[in-house]
Amino acid sequence: MALLGPIPASWAQSAETVAVSTSPVTRFKGAEIGQIADRLVFRGGIQLSGDHPDFGGLSGLAFLDDKRFVMVTDEGRFVSGSLELENGAPSALSEVEIDVIRNSAGAPLPRKFAQDSEAVEVVIRDGAPIAVRVGFEHLTRVADFDMVDGRPGGAAREIAIPNWLTEQRTNDSIESVCIAPPTSPIAGSTLIITEGHSIVPGSWAATLLGERDRGDLSLAQEGWVNPTDCAFLPDGDLLVLERSFAFLTFTVQIRRIQAEDVRPGAIMNGEVLLRHAGGEVDNFEGLGVRVLPNGETRITIVSDNNFLGIQRSLLLDFTLPN
């Protein structure tokens, strides 16, 4: 439905500033900062706590550049700001704002069934971020939102997705959305991976949205985990973040899939870069990739605390070994 009049000032001015306090994470899977953890180098992390009641439930992460980020929460909120480093390790979130996600009429999403945003990706045009693309579960859909001064907002513009995906009205539907970079054979195409829906036995259903690369594919199941986010590396390879929860313990896994294996009809699989379980791990659901000014590619994961006191909002940084 089109918006027939101007957005009320109360909607346009809904973004609120959030003060985020942090505490350092200096060790992960036996690795200190700068040391190897499986096939990645641990670059440090922080535990996050915000002074706004809606800060939490961080379910998707994307970077606009080497510092600025956008996250979505599973309560239908955008969280945007900058990730600060100190001596190369994450140290703080600055200039953080939180805002409601809106429907196609520009109104805040009305109920939990519609609010469950789980994935976010930045839409780049002519080298600049112009929008974010958000995936929702339960009321399953994908929508774009304009960027203004590095902040997402405004009315949703829904993106057409396959009928089989729209019909998945559960929390097993869209969990991962990422857009292939220019170096990829499917450059510009949007990859969507479901969290728990299977069409081909032994794999999770996925689909590609692109002019030349449109079609379904799947992600091979590996290690009793479910996909929670995806991001492309600058060279076109795909990273998939995965997670499980069993016996009161979370497991995290990151897989790297070769660029040429991401195509319609494929069953994607790849090498495991990181796998860990236990007290250092929480409910990791967001994955973002950025390139620092020194050329180093950083891989960042963030956890969804489900707004529960027994869980944490963690942000961890890694890079690939030279």
pLDDT value at 145 more than 60 = yes
Give the separation between CA 186 and CA 117, rounded to whole angstroms: 25
Nearest to 312 by CA among 276, 283, 277, 272: 283
Domain ranges in the chain are 19-319
271 confidence band (pLDDT: 50, 70, 90): very high
Where helices occur in the chain by DSSP H, the ranges are 9-12, 112-115, 163-166
pLDDT value at 81 more than 80 = yes
Are 255 and 243 in contact by the 8 Å Cβ rule? The answer is no
Mean pLDDT of 16-22: 97
Are 45 and 317 in contact by the 8 Å Cβ rule? The answer is yes
Give the separation between CA 176 and CA 195, rounded to whole angstroms: 8
The number of beta carbons lying within 10 Å of the beta carbon of residue 100 is 18
Looking at residue 66, what DSSP letter applies? S
pLDDT, position 149: 86
Mean pLDDT of 134-141: 95
247 confidence band (pLDDT: 50, 70, 90): confident
For β-strands 27-28 and 58-63, DSSP reports them as unpaired
Mean pLDDT of 193-215: 96
- Phi/psi region, residue 130 (left: phi>0; alpha: psi -120 to 50; beta: rest), is alpha
pLDDT digit string (tens) for 154-168? 999 999 999 999 999
Are 144 and 157 in contact by the 8 Å Cβ rule? The answer is yes
State the DSSP H helix or E strand holding residue 14, giving kind and residue range, or none if neither: none
13 confidence band (pLDDT: 50, 70, 90): low
CATH of domain 19-319: 2.115.10
Mean pLDDT of 191-198: 97
